Amino acid sequence: MKLTDYATLLRLAAITILLNACTNSLVVEGKFPSPLTDTLPLTLGIYYDDDFRDYVYEEKSKGRSKWIIESGQAQIDLFTAVLPRIFNQVIPIDALPPQNPTTADLILSPAIDEFQYAIPSETKVKVFEVWIKFNLRVYDKSGQLVADWILPAYGKTPSAFLKSKEEAMNEAVVVALRDLGASLSLGFADVPEIKAWLEQQ
């Protein structure tokens, strides 16, 4: 092997090590309290598609530290904690439109339209921040769209009291998910299309 080839390999190896060192991987974990809210006398079907169930955000912008954030299970944990307090009963739905007759009055299918974050090295403030834009679609039992609306969620956490930046980012995502849960529990019945549907029942 020529000396120049060997030097090139060393440079590539160094770049690879540097890139790997700058990658932050996180599987979001958190606890989500059940909200105190009036319960709607409805059976809700919940449908999670693969993109939502296995959601992973991967930062691809050049010039930013790379984060790979897996939040799919945490999202499901949030809905599992919140929805049974909003509705009389919650049942899983395997497909949209439903392939078999269902007892659900309405079917909710959540998705993530956008995920953003800011870290202390960018904002010069010792705070991790997360913005998530959820797209919530609600269908009737036959699979006809009833409502489709965007619900933003925001979370932040100081890094000073946590052991690592991964913990700080995790807490920011968890706070954002709790924000979603609060907004959903307080505002579901007030979405104009859902309110109109409820009045017709």
Q: pLDDT tens across 39-74, in order?
A: 999 999 999 999 999 999 999 888 788 899 999 999
**Average pLDDT for 120-149:** 93
User: Residue 13: what pLDDT?
Assistant: 43
Please provide residue 32's backbone torsions phi and psi, each rounded to the nearest 5 degrees.
Answer: -125, 115
In a domain, 8, yes or no: no
Rounded Cα gap, residues 100 and 91, in angstroms? 13
Residues of the domain holding 94:
24-200
With pLDDT > 70 as the criterion, what percentage of the chain qualifies?
89
Q: How many domains does the chain have?
A: 1
Please state the rounded mean pLDDT for residues 2-28: 58
Query: What is the pLDDT averaged over residues 118-142?
Result: 92
What whole-number percentage of the chain has pLDDT above 90?
68
Q: Does residue 5 fall inside a structural domain?
A: no
Q: Is residue 182 part of a domain?
A: yes
Residue of 21, 48, 168 lying closest to 109 (CA atoms): 48
CATH value at residue 116: 3.40.50.10610
Distance CA 79, CA 147 (A): 18
The whole-model pTM stands at 0.85
Residue 157 lies in a domain: yes
Confidence of residue 124 (pLDDT cuts 50, 70, 90): confident
String of DSSP letters for 173-201: HHHHHHHHHHHHHHHGGGSHHHHHHHHH-
| Average pLDDT of every residue of the chain | 88
